[in-house]
Amino acid sequence: MPFYLGFDCSTQSLTAVVIAHDAGRERGIVFASSLVFDETLPHHGTRSGVLPQDDPAVAVSPPLMWVEALDVMMERLAGSRLDLGRLAAISGAAQQHGSVYLNRSSAGILRELDASRPLASQVGAALSREVAPIWMDSSTAAYCAEIAEAVGGDDEMLGHTGSRATERFAGPQIRKFFRESPAAYEATAVIHLVSSFCASLLAGRHAPLDPCDASGMNLMDLETRRWWPPALDRTAPGLASRLPAIVPSCTAIGTLSRYWRERYRLPPAKVVVWSGDNPCSLVGVGLVREGILGVSLGTSDTFFGPMREPRVDRSGSGHVFGAPTGDFMGLTCARNGSLARDRVRREHGLDWDGFSRALEIGVGGSKGRILLPWYEPETTPRVLTPGVRRFGPPAEQPEDEVRALVEGQMMSLMLHSQWMGVSADRIHATGGAASNPQILQVLADVSGAEVYRLDAAHSAALGAALCAARADLDPEGRIGWDEFVSGFAEPVDASPIRPDPARHALYEELLKV
Ligand code: ADP
Ligand code: XUL
C-alpha cells in the first residue's frame, strides 16, 4: 500500500505525518514526529518560533529555520523503519500569511541543490530578505488603509478577497516591504507564502500556491481563484510578476528533487501543492461539508467551518478562505490563544495539571469576571494597542484568573464567529490545548455544542497527507471527501464533552457584557 507524507510547518514546530492509504479499507497513520524550533534549532534565536523584537507590533521568523527543520525531519524519516520506497506523494500545511522573499538567483539555486551539503547552507543565498513577516505581525495598519482606499474601500476588498485589508495578510506586508525597503523589494524576484516556499524546497523549483492559502493575502479574487489585478496594482509595482501561480488544491506540481533523493535515498515521489494550516486542519478534523465546526487551540485559537458559498463578515474581523475540497471556509482567528494561557499559567506557578485543576475548582461564570488576554496586539477583535482587559470583581485566587481567562477566550471566539451564520451542535477540537479536557468543557459550556477531541497534535499535517493521497489516488475527485477521510479524522474518544445547560445559560448572559 502506498505511503503519503504530510508536513505542518507551524509557528512553533514542524510536524511530519505519514499515512498508508489505498482508497480502500486499509488505512492508518504509520509515522508521526514533531520538532520544536526553539529546542531543536536554538541557534536561530527564536522564542516560540518568533524572533524577539522591541516593537510588539512586529513579528518575524527566520526562513532558514524552516529550511533546516525540513532537513532534520527528512533525516529522521530516512532513519525510521518505514519502507520509504512506498512513498508516493508529499504535501504540507504551513502557518498562513507569512511571506518569504527570494532573489533572482533563487530559481538556479533551487534547481542545483547539492545533496552533499545541508540545505540551509545553500538556500541562504537565494533570499532577498533575511526574515519573513508572519501572521502575528500587526505593524501594517497604515498600509492596510492605503490599499483599502485605493481599491475602493474595505467593502470592495472584503467582497473580492473574503477579508478586509488585514495587518497580518501578505499583501499589506508586501506593501510595507516595498515602501520601507525599496531596494530590497527591487531585488526580489519571487514572493512566496511559507507553504509555497517549503514546497519549492521539495520540488527544486518555484512552486505554486493553492487558492486556500492564496486567499490569506488580500490579493486573490475568491470567486475566480485568480490574482485580483486591482489589489496587485495597489499593493506594490511589478507584483504580478513576483507572485507564484495559483493551482487547485491537492494537485501534483512536480517530483521530489535530486537533493532529497540522493541525500536521504527517497523515491521520486510526487510533490503536491502545499496549503495553509487552517485549510488543512479542516480536512484533518473531518469537516468536509457544512454542519460541524472546528476549533484549533494552537498558538492561535481559531474557529472555522466549511461553507458552500462564501458569506463574508461585514463587521470585518472574520475571513473567508478557499477549502481544499474546492468549497470555502469561514475562519475567526484570535492571536492571544495558547501563549496567553501559557502566560497566565506561569504567572501563577502552575503546570498544566494545576491549570486544569484551577479550571475545575473555579466557579462557572467566574462570578461575573471576564479576562480578555490581549497581551499582544489582537487580531479578533482587532486591537492594535495591547493590554489585558478585565471586567467584574478583582480575582481573589489563581483559579478565578484561570477561569476568567479561558471563559473570556471562548466567549470571544463564539461572539466573533456568529457572522458565519452556522449554529453548531457539534464541534471538533484540535491543536495543542485540545488535549486539555477542562478547557474543552468550557468550550462546550460556552457554545452549547458537544465537543469531540481530535488527535491534538497532528490535524494540519494529517490534512496535508490526505491531500497528497488525494492527488495521487483520485486526482479526478471521483471518491467523495467523506469517504476519502473516513478512518482518519475520527474523534479520539467515543463520547463527546457535553455542555452543562445551566452554565450555558449563564454564558449567554455574560456574552452580552
Ligand atoms: P502550533 O501548531 O500553533 O505551533 P500547537 O497546536 O502545537 O501549536 O499547540 C502548542 C500549544 O499547546 C503550546 O503553546 C501550549 O500552550 C499548548 N498546550 C500543550 N499542552 C497543553 C495542555 N495540557 N493544556 C493546555 N494547553 C496545552
Ligand atoms: C489564520 C492565522 C493563524 C495562522 C497560524 O488566519 O493567522 O491561524 O495560520 O497558524
Parallel, antiparallel, or unpaired: how do β-strands 319-322 and 328-334 relate?
Answer: antiparallel
What pLDDT, on a 0 to 100 scale, did the predictor assign at position 23? 79
- The string of pLDDT tens digits covering residues 399-413 is 999 999 999 999 999
Residue pointed to by grid coordinates 485580483: 228
**Ramachandran region, residue 421 (left: φ > 0; alpha: ψ -120 to 50; beta: rest):** left
What pLDDT, on a 0 to 100 scale, did the predictor assign at position 316? 86
- Portion of the chain with pLDDT greater than 70, in percent: 100
CA 506 to centroid of ligand 2, rounded, Å: 30
How buried is residue 407: exposed, middle or buried, by Cβ count under 10 Å (0-12/13-18/19+)?
Answer: buried
What pLDDT, on a 0 to 100 scale, did the predictor assign at position 456? 59
For residue 476, give Cα distances in angstroms to 163, 257, 323, 472, 479. Answer: 30, 25, 17, 10, 9
User: What number of helices (H) and strands (E) belong to the chain?
Assistant: 20, 21
- The string of pLDDT tens digits covering residues 80-132 is 999 999 999 999 999 999 999 999 999 999 999 999 999 999 999 999 999 99
The mean per-residue pLDDT over the stretch 348-353 comes to: 97
Identify the residue with better confidence: 299 or 14: 14
CB distance 302 to ligand 1 below 6 Å:
no
Lowest mean pLDDT among 15-29, 43-57, 212-226, 346-360: 15-29
CB atoms within 10 A of CB 337: 22
CB distance 335 to ligand 1 below 6 Å:
no
What pLDDT, on a 0 to 100 scale, did the predictor assign at position 493? 82
The mean per-residue pLDDT over the stretch 27-41 comes to: 96
Residue pointed to by grid coordinates 506593501: 175
Judged by its nearest atom, the ligand closest to the C-alpha of residue 461 is 1
Residue 429 has pLDDT above 70, yes or no: yes
Nearest-atom number in ligand 1 for the CA of 11 is 4
CA 269 to centroid of ligand 2, rounded, Å: 28
Judged by its nearest atom, the ligand closest to the C-alpha of residue 438 is 1
Beta bridge partners of 304: 294, 331
CA 343 to centroid of ligand 2, rounded, Å: 20
CB distance 435 to ligand 1 below 6 Å:
yes
d(CA 308, CA 299): 28
What pLDDT, on a 0 to 100 scale, did the predictor assign at position 120? 98
CA 247 to centroid of ligand 1, rounded, Å: 32
End-to-end CA distance of the chain: 55
Judged by DSSP in three states, 403 sits in helix
Judged by DSSP in three states, 286 sits in coil
Return mean pLDDT, the chain.
Answer: 95
Q: Nearest-CA neighbor of 379 among 412, 411, 333, 420?
A: 333
Judged by its nearest atom, the ligand closest to the C-alpha of residue 15 is 1
- Return the best residue to mutate from 198, 212, 333, 380 for the ligand 2 pocket (most ligand atoms within 8 A of CB): 333
d(CA 284, CA 251): 17
- The string of pLDDT tens digits covering residues 441-498 is 999 999 999 999 987 568 999 999 999 999 999 999 999 999 999 999 888 887 899 9
Residue of the CA atom closest to atom 7 of ligand 2: 135
The mean per-residue pLDDT over the stretch 26-48 comes to: 96
Q: Nearest-CA neighbor of 500 among 368, 395, 356, 365?
A: 365
What pLDDT, on a 0 to 100 scale, did the predictor assign at position 64? 98
Q: For ligand 2, which residues put their CB under 6 angstroms from it?
A: 10-11, 95-97, 135, 168, 216, 276-278, 298, 300, 302, 331, 333
Beta bridge partners of 300: none
CA 341 to centroid of ligand 1, rounded, Å: 9
- Return the best residue to mutate from 299, 346, 353 for the ligand 1 pocket (most ligand atoms within 8 A of CB): 299
CB distance 432 to ligand 1 below 6 Å:
yes
Q: In what side-by-side order are the strands of the sheet with 301-307? A: 319-322, 328-334, 301-307, 293-297, 426-430, 450-453
What pLDDT, on a 0 to 100 scale, did the predictor assign at position 457? 67
d(CA 347, CA 48): 17
What pLDDT, on a 0 to 100 scale, did the predictor assign at position 422? 78
- Portion of the chain with pLDDT greater than 90, in percent: 88
CA 26 to centroid of ligand 1, rounded, Å: 31
CA 232 to centroid of ligand 1, rounded, Å: 36
Judged by its nearest atom, the ligand closest to the C-alpha of residue 456 is 1
Q: Nearest-CA neighbor of 196 among 264, 85, 272, 266?
A: 272
Per the structure block, which three cell numbers stand in for 243? 507572485
Nearest-atom number in ligand 1 for the CA of 298 is 6
What pLDDT, on a 0 to 100 scale, did the predictor assign at position 491? 86
The mean per-residue pLDDT over the stretch 183-199 comes to: 98
- The string of pLDDT tens digits covering residues 132-168 is 999 999 999 999 999 999 999 999 999 999 999 999 9
